[in-house]
Amino acid sequence: MRILVLNADYPRFLAWLYRRQPGLEDAGYAGQMAARNASLFGVADFYSRNFSASGHPAAEIHVNNPWLQSAWAREHGMAVETAEPPGTAAPRALPGWLQRAVTPFKPLLRPLARKVGLSPTLDAQAENILLAQIEDFGPDLIINQDTFHVNTGLVRRIRGIGRPILIGQVGIEPSRGEDWPVYDLMMSQLSATVNFFRSLGVRAELNHLAFEPAILDALPAAPATDIDVSFVGTVSADHRQRIALLEAVAGRYDLKLFGSRPQALPSSSPLHRCFQGEVWGADMYQVLRRSRVTLNSHIDLAGREAGNMRLFEATGVGAFLLTDFKDNLHTLFEPNREVAVWRGNDDCLAGIGRALEDDQGRAAIARAGQARTMAQHTYRHRTREILGFAEQLRTKR
């Protein structure tokens, strides 16, 4: 089975990647892809390498990287317009007050946002390159991990190229009004999202995120633990509970916050003094390793379910993780043995204090969490689940 994985990268990450390697945008497709994967950001090539290890030729396509995609097009005889130099196009953003106001209505507003140009999408050239790549590779299975750039209208066009099995992966609350039945299967790490698709008559399955053990071989030596408390991730209008927690932590501890400073954060927030800038890929993993305590707080829409990427990234590199309690957490990690758990802001503050005073206990939880991730939560485990889903779909055709 030949497998293509479609994904997209944050514009801020792309600006960072190309800024730190001047001239990378002029390199060939293979060279740019190698640099992208070597960054270790996001899922990199973790899905394709594990599908390939199982005997299924696989590749990733980063659909919204104009320099990478243009390089492929030129190498395959396509005439394309030259992309703007990296970092020259400033992404549009709504004012902070408006971001906070529209957050509860995002699933309903996304179709309108796409029509007026406020939602991520591919232009005609990017779509044509993607369709040519799919035709060239000839996949039997396509996994779309970015349902914004590759929307259901484009997926329907993709379906006509060799009739591949189509699987979509959604980690947030799905948009309303989309043609979700165009997919053969939808996957999510959230059972509420799985149930949403099933309510529409679309087959859906639970498939969690993961950690790639090869990251440990690619990272530099483990650094000194010189950060008492860290948080690595997004702070936005979609993370109100997270903001409240981090503000409480910042009032008592020397919190180091690694991420972008959002417009939606009020100027009075104590978090402004905690920001250390963004870290991507390998640098992010090193921050986790430097931390005596690293915090996790799920996005608000996750509700009572655990399953975000930080669970697996932090435990995978052997960091001590203090995460928010969720009803299903025990199905992933044993609370207070493999990850430490907080149930409210005051409980989190107390948990940080206990952890900072107990080096041995902290180390024991970090070791147990890493062992659990290696035993059950790697991309090898996840890709085998997906292959099982795909085989069931293929036998029904």
Give 272-307 pLDDT, tens digit per residue: 999 999 999 999 999 999 999 999 999 988 899 999
Q: Which residues of the chain have pLDDT under 50?
A: 90, 94-103, 105-106, 108-118
Q: Look at residue 239 in the predicted model and tell me its pLDDT.
A: 80
Which pLDDT does position 90 carry in this prediction? 46
pLDDT, one tens digit per residue, over 30-83 is 999 999 999 999 999 999 999 999 999 999 999 999 999 999 999 999 999 988
Would you state the structure tokens that stand for residue 37, as one six-digit string?
Answer: 């994967």
Report in angstroms the alpha-carbon separations of 364 from 337, 351, 354: 8, 15, 14
Nearest Cα to 155, choosing from 114, 122, 125, 107?
Answer: 122
CATH says 215-376 is which class? alpha beta
Cα(226)–Cα(244) distance, rounded to whole angstroms? 25
**According to the model, what pLDDT value does residue 277 have?**
94
SS (H, E, C) 58-78: EEEEECCCHHHHHHHHHHCCC
- pLDDT reported for residue 110: 40
The pLDDT of residue 105 is 46
- Alpha-carbon dihedral sign for residues 193, 194, 197, 198: negative
Q: How many CB atoms lie within 10 A of CB 281?
A: 21
- The 8-class DSSP code of residue 140 comes to S
DSSP secondary structure string for all residues of 10-21: -HHHHHHHHHHS
φ, ψ of residue 41 to 5 degrees: the values are -75, 145
CATH number for the domain running over 3-210+379-395: 3.40.50
- Segments making up each domain of the chain, as ranges: 3-210+379-395, 215-376
Distances (CA, A) of 94 to 42, 91, 103: 25, 10, 11
Fold match flag (3-210+379-395 vs 215-376) = yes
